[in-house]
Amino acid sequence: MIARTGAPAPEFTTKAFHQGEVKTVSLADYRGKWVVLVFYPADFTFVCPCELASIAQRYDEFEALNTEVLAISIDTVYAHQAWHDAELAYMVERDGGIPYPMLSDLGGPIGMMYNVFDEVERVNLRGTFLIDPDGVVQAMQVLNADVGRSVDETLREIKAYQESRETGQVMPPDWEPGKKTLTPGADLIGKVHDVWKVGE
């Protein structure tokens, strides 16, 4: 199974480094919560620590949205631990360093299921997958290794999909809580310009 939007997220079980311990983690453990699955190329690199620290710094915002973050690379859990203790813990202004699990995808089998594994470089690209409480992929983005992701945009997408799930409304571009939503239906066909303007 390959991940795609609107379909069940490929299930997996793997080892993770989390809060000083090595644990076994399954995607199914988080059913009933939103999950942001964050693939990154490798420990002890350059953009990756900036991304993981930026997410960690705003982890309370993810928690407030009933969302767990799972970071995953091809490194072992012991490499994760060494990297965390040597660098990441110093980049985060919170006790304990990175608050979310750091998963091991040794050899890339999980990255292959999510179509982010680079067969030439033997690492996972920067893939972000938003998975809803029913285990369905709602959003996915894959970036090449040189550019980091936007935490603001990830949080915005979570809020938008949660609002849509709760209300049945659809969200125009750049939607934020408090902005106008759209009610899909026959009455709106060819009439969007009457109810929504660019920049609103």
Active site residues: 48
Tell me the C-alpha to C-alpha distance, in Å, between residue 175 and each of 22, 28, 138.
Answer: 39, 30, 16
Strands 67-73 and 102-104, by their bridges, are parallel
Residue pair 142/116 in contact (Cβ under 8 Å)? The answer is yes
Give the DSSP H/E element, type plus range, for residue 121.
Answer: none
DSSP at 175: -
Give the DSSP H/E element, type plus range, for residue 17.
Answer: strand 13-18
CA–CA dist 69, 101 (Å, integer)? 7
Place of tokens 């199974």: 1
